[in-house]
A and B are shown apart, each in its own frame.
Chain A
Amino acid sequence: MTTSLHWARRRASVARFWRRYRTHRAGVAGLAGLTLLALVAVAAPLLVGSDVQSVTHAPGEALESPSGAFPLGTDRFGRSLLGLLVWGARISLTVGLLAAVLSVAIGTLVGIVAGHYGGWFSTVVMRITDWFLVMPTLVLAIVLATVLSRSVWTVILAIGVTTWPTTARLVRAQTIAVESRPYIERAKALGGGHRHVMTRHVLPNVMPLVLAQTTLGISTAILTEATLAFLGLGDPSVVSWGGMLQDAREAGAVSSGHWWYLAPPGIAVALVALAFTLCGRAVESVLNPRLGVAR
Chain B
Amino acid sequence: MSGTTNSSGSSSDVPDAPAGTASSSGASGIEMKVMAPSPGSPGSRAARTAGAKAAAYPAYLAGKLGGAVVSLFAVLVTSFFLFRIIPGDPVKAMTHGMPTSAEQLATLRRQFGLDLPLWRQFTDYCAGALTGDLGMSYQFRAPVGELIAQKLPATLLLTGVAVVIYSALGLWLGTRSAWRHGGPGDRLNTGLALTLWSVPSFWLGLLLIITFSVGVGPVPGLFPTGGMESGGTSGFAYVLDVAHHMVLPVLTLVAVGYAQTLLVMRASLLDEMGGDYLTTARAKGLRDDDVRRRHAVPNALLPTVTMVFINLGHVAAGSILVETVFSWPGLGGLFYQALSVPDLPLVQGLFVVFAGAMILMNLLADLIYPLLDPRVGR
Please list the residues of chain A having a beta carbon within 8 angstroms of any beta carbon in chain B: 126-127, 130-131, 133-140, 142-144, 146-148, 163, 165-166, 169-170, 172-173, 176, 212-213, 216-217, 219-220, 223-224, 226-227, 230-233, 242, 245, 248-249, 254-257, 259, 262-263, 265-266, 269-271, 273-274, 277-278, 280-281, 284, 288, 290-292, 294-295
Q: B16 interface residue, CB < 8 Å from A?
A: yes
A248 to B324, CA, bound (A): 15
Q: B328 interface residue, CB < 8 Å from A?
A: no
Instruction: Tell me which of B1, B16, B67 contacts A223 (CB under 8 A).
Output: B1
A residues within 8 A CB of B86? 147-148
A165 to B318, CA, bound (A): 19
| Nearest CB in chain B: distance from A96 CB, A | 12
**Residue contact B207 to A259, C-beta cutoff 8 Å:** yes
**Residue contact A147 to B200, C-beta cutoff 8 Å:** no
B residues within 8 A CB of A144? 82
A294 to B25, CA, bound (A): 26
**Residue contact B320 to A139, C-beta cutoff 8 Å:** yes
Using CB atoms, name the residue of chain B closest to A248. Answer: B206
Using CB atoms, name the residue of chain A closest to B15. Answer: A173
Q: B301 interface residue, CB < 8 Å from A?
A: no
Please list the residues of chain B having a beta carbon within 8 angstroms of any beta carbon in chain A: 1-7, 9-13, 16, 19-21, 23-25, 67, 70-71, 74-75, 82-83, 86-87, 181-182, 194-195, 197-200, 202-204, 206-207, 209-211, 214-216, 225, 267, 270, 313-314, 316-318, 320-321, 324, 335-336, 339-340, 342, 344, 347, 350-351, 354-355, 358-359, 362
Q: A130 and B4 in contact (CB under 8 A), knowing A232-B340, A259-B210, A270-B195?
A: no
A residues within 8 A CB of B3? 137
10 A-B interface contacts by CB (under 8 A): A131-B71, A135-B358, A139-B317, A139-B355, A142-B320, A220-B6, A232-B339, A262-B207, A266-B206, A274-B198
B residues within 8 A CB of A290? 12
Q: A281 and B10 in contact (CB under 8 A), knowing A166-B5, A295-B270?
A: yes
Question: SS class of chain B's interface: helix, strand, loop or mixed?
Answer: helix
**Residue contact B20 to A133, C-beta cutoff 8 Å:** yes
Q: A163 and B6 in contact (CB under 8 A), knowing A257-B214, A291-B12?
A: yes
**Residue contact B10 to A266, C-beta cutoff 8 Å:** no
B residues within 8 A CB of A217? 6-7
A residues within 8 A CB of B9? 216, 219, 277, 280-281
**Residue contact A166 to B362, C-beta cutoff 8 Å:** no
| Nearest CB in chain A: distance from B181 CB, A | 6
Give me 15 other A-B pairs in contact (C-beta within 8 A), A147-B86, A259-B216 excluded.
Answer: A130-B20, A136-B314, A137-B6, A139-B350, A213-B7, A216-B9, A227-B200, A233-B339, A248-B206, A254-B225, A257-B210, A269-B198, A270-B198, A277-B194, A281-B9
**Residue contact A280 to B12, C-beta cutoff 8 Å:** no
**Residue contact A170 to B12, C-beta cutoff 8 Å:** yes
**Residue contact A223 to B342, C-beta cutoff 8 Å:** no
Instruction: Tell me which of A126, A170, A224, A278 contacts B2 (CB under 8 A).
Output: A224
| Nearest CB in chain B: distance from A122 CB, A | 9
A137 to B358, CA, bound (A): 11
Using CB atoms, name the residue of chain A closest to B20. Answer: A133
Q: Which of A138, A148, A224 has the most CB of B within 10 A?
A: A138
**Residue contact A138 to B207, C-beta cutoff 8 Å:** no
A43 to B339, CA, bound (A): 36
A288 to B336, CA, bound (A): 41
A269 to B196, CA, bound (A): 12
Q: A280 and B216 in contact (CB under 8 A), knowing A219-B198, A231-B339, A273-B198?
A: no
**Residue contact A166 to B6, C-beta cutoff 8 Å:** yes
Q: Which of B324, B358, B359 has the most CB of A within 10 A?
A: B358
Using CB atoms, name the residue of chain A closest to B197. Answer: A277
| Nearest CB in chain A: distance from B28 CB, A | 9
Using CB atoms, name the residue of chain A closest to B342. Answer: A146
Q: A126 and B7 in contact (CB under 8 A), knowing A223-B200, A269-B200, A270-B200?
A: no
Instruction: Tell me which of A130, A146, A220, A227 contacts B202 (CB under 8 A).
Output: A227
**Residue contact B267 to A295, C-beta cutoff 8 Å:** yes
A263 to B208, CA, bound (A): 11
**Residue contact B7 to A166, C-beta cutoff 8 Å:** yes
**Residue contact A147 to B10, C-beta cutoff 8 Å:** no
**Residue contact A231 to B12, C-beta cutoff 8 Å:** no
A242 to B71, CA, bound (A): 33
Cβ-closest 4 pairs across A and B: A266-B203, A273-B198, A136-B317, A216-B7
Q: A139 and B354 in contact (CB under 8 A), knowing A230-B200, A277-B198?
A: yes
A294 to B190, CA, bound (A): 13
| Nearest CB in chain A: distance from B341 CB, A | 10
A residues within 8 A CB of B12? 170, 212, 284, 288, 290-291
Using CB atoms, name the residue of chain B closest to A143. Answer: B351
Using CB atoms, name the residue of chain A closest to B23. Answer: A126
| Nearest CB in chain B: distance from A7 CB, A | 30
**Residue contact A133 to B4, C-beta cutoff 8 Å:** yes
**Residue contact B206 to A245, C-beta cutoff 8 Å:** yes
Q: Which of A134, A173, A281 has the most CB of B within 10 A?
A: A134
Instruction: Tell me which of B13, B194, B209, B320 contacts A170 (CB under 8 A).
Output: B13
Instruction: Tell me which of A127, A134, A257 contacts B362 (CB under 8 A).
Output: A134
**Residue contact A245 to B203, C-beta cutoff 8 Å:** yes
| Nearest CB in chain A: distance from B285 CB, A | 26
Using CB atoms, name the residue of chain B closest to A273. Answer: B198
B residues within 8 A CB of A230? 200, 202, 321
| Nearest CB in chain A: distance from B83 CB, A | 6
| Nearest CB in chain A: distance from B217 CB, A | 10
